[in-house]
Amino acid sequence: MTDESLKSRVETWMVKQMPIIQMHGGTSVVREADAESGQVVVELGGTCSGCGISNVTAQNIKRDMFMEFEEIENVEVKVPSTGDTGADTVEGGRGGDLQYSNESAGHF
């Protein structure tokens, strides 16, 4: 499978998750999905930034991705510290210029 194929499948999967995330005012962007390395990076935005349960959402995304995609070896879920989602950010990973905080990379 190609990188684009994995990214496309992860984006489609994230779109299915969006009603739950959007219900709370959140957004998501798939930043990376590398089939060769098995690395996936998802960024949460909107009200996920600063949300007290964003770590739970991140853990659920990680767990469910591992169960859904056998080729995924590592999932990183980033939550922006700015809360800036911008007009070009849309659900399912098709855009966006979110900035994330790495102040506490181990908080997930």
DSSP codes of every residue in the chain: --HHHHHHHHHHHHHHHHHHHHHTTEEEEEEEEETTTTEEEEEEEETTTT-TTHHHHHHHHHHHHHHH-TT--EEEEE-BSS----TT--TTTS-----B--TTGGG-
- Given a cut of 50, whether residue 37 has pLDDT beyond it is yes
- Does the pLDDT of residue 12 top 80, yes or no? yes
Q: What's the mean pLDDT in 24-39? A: 91
CATH topology for the 6-78 domain: GMP Synthetase; Chain A, domain 3 (3.30.300)
Sheet holding 39-46, edge to edge: 26-34, 39-46, 74-78
Higher model confidence: residue 40 or residue 25?
A: 40
Q: How many whole angstroms separate alpha carbon 58 and alpha carbon 12?
A: 17
pTM over 0.85: no
Q: What is the pLDDT of residues 44-94, one digit of tens each?
A: 988 888 888 888 889 999 999 999 999 999 999 998 764 444 333 334 444
Question: Residue 81's pLDDT is what?
Answer: 64
Q: pLDDT at position 55, please?
A: 87
What does the pLDDT read at residue 8? Answer: 93
Residue 49's pLDDT is 83
Residue 5 is predicted with a pLDDT of: 86
The upper half-sphere exposure of residue 79, i.e. CA atoms within 13 Å in the direction of its Cβ, equals 23
Predicted local confidence at residue 92, as pLDDT: 43
Place of tokens 């949300």: 51
